[in-house]
A and B are shown apart, each in its own frame.
Chain A
Amino acid sequence: MSATETNTVRITGFWSGRSELIVPALVLVLAGFLTYGTATMEVLGNSVPGPQFFPTIVCVLLYVVAFAHAFQVLRTRRFPDADDDGRGAEVSSEMLSDLGDTADGRITTRSGTRPRATGRPQAFSDWKTLGMVVGAVALFNLMLPVAGWILAATVLFWVVCRALGSKRPLFDLSVSLLFASAVQLAFNAGLGLNLPAGFLEGLL
């Protein structure tokens, strides 16, 4: 099996296998925002317990889990498993393998793959593709009020297609345009909801 090949990991510095620290960092930011918001809240009414009561509990929970998680990540480096599609997180695979009597196989994650310091450097996530898709959604948000639904949605569809590896730009363009127009038609004519027409208004 080529699993050992794909699972090659490299340790090159402090951050290898510790990029997950971004999660507790963001959770701490969130907790900080919550603390600030709770402390400066303009409380209306005088009910006891008031609107600050529950947020305080949640806040304490966030601080505790953020530190616990950061501690766990610092103690053991975590590397993504290339065989795993990231969807197995909902339910403990250990518990499922006990219940299902499946000692081996895909639901149990492999342990003990030795990280290597050599090997082809390749980020686990494909940041370029992801960046294009995120950018496409951001572009859509900016374009919608100005250019209208059909143009904005066509661009979004087309860019996502390109990013995900389509090789036929012109054909994609017609598919995008068709899809966006069909949605516009279905919405305006069928459901009576209005999507912005943008500067094409009057031309259509």
Chain B
Amino acid sequence: MEQLTLLMEGFSNALTPMNLLWVVIGAVLGTAVGVLPGLGSAMAVALLLPITFSLDPTAAFIMFAGVYYGGLFGDSTSGILLNTPGNSSAIASTFEGHRMALDGRAAKALATAAVGAFTGGLLATTVVVFFAPTLVRMATAFGPAEYFALAVFAFLAISSVVSESVVKGLVALGIGLVLAMVGVDGPSGTIRYTLGMPQLFDGLSIVVITVGLLALGEVFHIASRIHRDPEATRVKTKGRPRLNLADIKKALPAWLRGTAFGVPFGVIPAGGAEVPTFLAYGTEKRLAKRRGDTEFGTTGSIKGVAAPEAAANATAGTAMGALLALGLPTSATAAIMLAAFQQYGMQPGPLLFERSGALVWTLLASLFVGLVILVVLNMQFAVLWAKLLLIPRHYLYAGIAVLSVLGVYAISSSVVDLWILLAIGLLGFMMRRYKFPLAPVLIAVILGPLAETELRRALTVSEGDLSILVDSPVTITLYAVLAIALAISAVQHLRHRARSRSSAVKLDDDELVGA
């Protein structure tokens, strides 16, 4: 097996003392941002990007590997203890996890979550190691039309199929596409939408956009709500997270089922781990009902924590595979990782394995190393991590505000970038205020240039004949699957609308105005 030799070489690179240090730093940072509600690995990588510029790419990516998985380990901690999940990927494990905590089994819930995240990540990363070369071989046959189809698939899946409101998702997508078009157009050299400012000729930096949307936007959002929202109350944990044999016996099938849900979803651009975690949670709930399990929904079931946690990390694992082999980001975090590669002048996709093979295999090996470190960090020090929640929120967000401006200033030492950051931060606030999804903006910013270039390339080859876009089995399949998914989600939206309309309170405007 060729992959195993390559992976072993990767391990030998990843296990040097210096690189081990980077994984540990990444894992600590990742867990920390995961534990803190509202912050996630996407934001952490975006803030770290400019700071890691002076490192060599291998060290930087090894650190990002720790951050990438760390966020998913940490997010369940605040969910279990506070009932406020650190990230949307932990909502599903919060249901049963918090019930367990209230029942006095917080330590057990934390341990189940940590081992679940480890199992999911481990199995998914293994799948990636064995299937990445197959994906690469598939992707080398892709032409412009196929890449364009892939981009359209990602755009519409994230903005329309899974989003709360199709219109809001498309608005977000459109904003992202506009942001991506600023600057000099690659193929022709034409200057576009720069308002004549030479600082914008290179386009808006992806770092500025992500830090603005995810970090500064979050600070603004918190500012607008901090004096309004009540504080969450914390459940005290006692003892070290331990699982006895009986617990493991109970949780093991759930971990495996969760992983099975997560693995395929990593390759589908469905916006991340929400869909598979809820699928896994729902399955456990239905199974519990059939078995007559009374713990579920009352005192908290260990299975209801195990399955979604495994699913979340399994999704992240295969998402990394799709990113490396196809260059397709399937979630916001994967999109930032793609941006990280571009910052270092590398383009994920089939060519990456050829050109920077050593880096790719070191990265994959450090994903394994990171998982081991993370499971130790989270099992042994879970109570310590929960202490992070004691940091006063004003210091935390003041720190994030300072790190945001630092990161943006560090990339190009330009004050213009800082004003753009402020504007994008306000955009991020507005989108949060009116409940617009942020993921479509990030995906559009990152895949927008690819979509445009490939579309133009395809049409140049065909001399304007649009049929080239649906000319191959791959493109036909992609568009067909997309059409089916859109149809299903349309039915879903209509059904829910009919239901909520029949139960809604009838309002009469005239009666209320000035009453």
A residues adjacent to B (C-beta < 8 A)? 11-13, 20, 22-24, 26-27, 30, 33-34, 37, 41-45, 47-51, 53-55, 58, 61-62, 65-66, 68-69, 72, 78, 80, 82, 84-102, 105-107, 111-118, 122, 124-127, 129-130, 132-134, 136-138, 140-141, 144-145, 153, 156-158, 160-161, 163-166, 175-176, 179-180, 183, 187, 191-195
Contacts and interface: CB of A to CB of B under 8 A. Distances in A.
A62 B460 contact: no
B500 interface: yes
28 contacts: A13-B513, A23-B436, A26-B430, A41-B192, A45-B189, A51-B190, A82-B229, A86-B221, A86-B435, A90-B439, A91-B272, A92-B489, A92-B493, A95-B489, A102-B95, A111-B500, A130-B224, A137-B421, A137-B425, A140-B405, A140-B418, A156-B405, A157-B399, A164-B393, A165-B394, A183-B403, A187-B406, A193-B53
Nearest to A11: B512
- The secondary-structure label for the interface of chain B is helix
B227 A51 contact: no
Contacts of A53: 455-456, 459
Contacts of B51: 191
Given A22-B430, A90-B438, A180-B402, A51 B192 contact: yes
A41 B187 CA distance: 15
B304 to A, nearest CB: 10
Closest 4 CB pairs of A and B: A164-B394, A100-B278, A160-B398, A117-B515
B224 A126 contact: yes
B464 A94 contact: no
A190 B193 CA distance: 38
B167 A127 contact: no
Interface residues of B, number: 108
A175 B224 contact: no
Nearest to A72: B167
A133 B272 CA distance: 31
B327 to A, nearest CB: 19
Contacts of A157: 398-399, 401-402
Given A62-B174, A126-B226, A41 B190 contact: yes
Contacts, number: 305
Interface in B432-452: 432-439, 451-452
Contact of B456 (A54, A61, A111): A54
Nearest to A70: B167
A178 to B, nearest CB: 11
Contact of A91 (B163, B415, B430): B163
A92 B163 contact: yes
Contact of B164 (A92, A98, A175, A192): A92
A23 B88 contact: no
Contacts of A138: 422
Contact of B492 (A91, A94, A175): A94
Contacts of A90: 88, 162-163, 271-272, 274, 332, 437-439
Given A89-B435, A156-B401, A134 B513 contact: no
B418 A43 contact: no
A30 B175 contact: yes
B223 A91 contact: no
B227 A126 contact: yes
A111 B224 contact: no
A145 B170 CA distance: 39
B188 A58 contact: no
A65 B181 contact: no
A153 B434 contact: no
Interface stretch (B23-31, B133-141, B245-253, B502-510): B502-510
Contacts of A145: 415
Contacts of A41: 190, 192
B140 to A, nearest CB: 26
B174 to A, nearest CB: 5
Interface stretch (B102-110, B279-287, B316-324): B279-287
Nearest to B509: A11
Nearest to B228: A126
B410 A187 contact: yes
B398 A176 contact: yes
Contacts of B483: none
Nearest to A159: B398
Nearest to B497: A94
Contacts of B395: 161, 166, 175
B392 interface: yes
Contacts of B188: 43-45, 47, 50-51
Contact of A100 (B279, B413, B425): B279
B178 interface: yes
Contacts of B177: 58, 61
A138 B439 CA distance: 26
B226 A23 contact: no
B223 A163 contact: yes
A174 to B, nearest CB: 12
Nearest to A63: B174
A122 to B, nearest CB: 8
Nearest to B222: A164
Nearest to B455: A54
Q: Which of B51, B171, B222, B422: most chain A CB closer than 10 A? A: B171
A160 B185 contact: no
A96 to B, nearest CB: 5
Given A141-B415, A156-B402, A92 B162 contact: yes
